[in-house]
Amino acid sequence: MSREIEELQAALRRFAEERDWDQFHSPKNLAASLSIEAGEVLEHFQWLTDDQSRQLDEEQRKAVGHEIADVLLYLLQLSDKLGIEPLGAARDKLAINAAKYPADKARGSSKKYTEL
């Protein structure tokens, strides 16, 4: 695991311990919080066109960045609680997706792998 990920997870553990919040951080609650924060990312784009979503001003980018940080922090807490190494899991999933969606078949298509 990357040293930065480990340090961030340790900082999150300390943060929760200092506030006696670990009692609330079950995997179920962390997964729910992760989903809620992902919804808050989406909320920033809700009524934008595709082009507008690509051209956020600095204030909008900062606000979206804060929500992305919340998503990342909850994801790291959840993976820590479950003993899942997030970068390894991401690499494994990328390999699975590469097998499901070979570039020569999936290029330019939004079809699901079962439809290719």
Domain borders along the chain are 3-84, 85-116
Half-sphere CA count of 99, side-chain side, radius 13 A: 5
Q: Residue 1's pLDDT is what?
A: 79
The CA distance from 30 to 70, in Å, is: 11
Report, as an integer, the average pLDDT of 27-31: 98
Confidence of residue 12 (pLDDT cuts 50, 70, 90): very high
In terms of C-beta density within 10 A (0-12 exposed, 13-18 middle, 19 or more buried), how is residue 82 classed? exposed
Provide the percentage of residues in the chain whose pLDDT is more than 90: 92
What pTM, to 2 d.p., does this model score? 0.90
Record: fold of 3-84 = Helix Hairpins (1.10.287)
Element of type H or E holding 97: helix 86-100
The CA distance from 32 to 25, in Å, is: 10
| Mean pLDDT, rounded, of the chain | 96
Q: Residue 113's pLDDT is what?
A: 79
Q: Residue 112's pLDDT is what?
A: 86
